[in-house]
Amino acid sequence: EGGPPDHSYSLSSGTTSEELLRKLNEQRDIIALLEVKMKEMKGSIRRLRLAEAQLREEIREKDRLLHAASAGTRKRHGL
């Protein structure tokens, strides 16, 4: 009693070198996995940004065609 609170992430003073090494290796494995996931996500973001740019360009092109078509219709009808 009176000692620091026991947290799941804290280590007791009786932790052995082997346990510390195991925990360190587990953390390194987690970091390596997260780094791989992060690279995958960056690739996904890059692909989605490219797809978004292509879709925006398609929309601009369709808007231009619609605008040109409606302008032509107004001219034919004397508007």
CB atoms within 10 A of CB 44: 10
pLDDT, position 27: 98
Cα–Cα distance measured from residue 73 to residue 60, given in angstroms and rounded to the nearest whole number: 20
Tokens read off for 48: 């989605």
Domain boundaries, the chain: 16-78
Consecutive sets of 10 residues in the chain, 79 residues long: mean pLDDT of each?
56 82 97 98 98 98 94 71
Q: Which pTM does this prediction carry? A: 0.58
pLDDT, position 73: 75
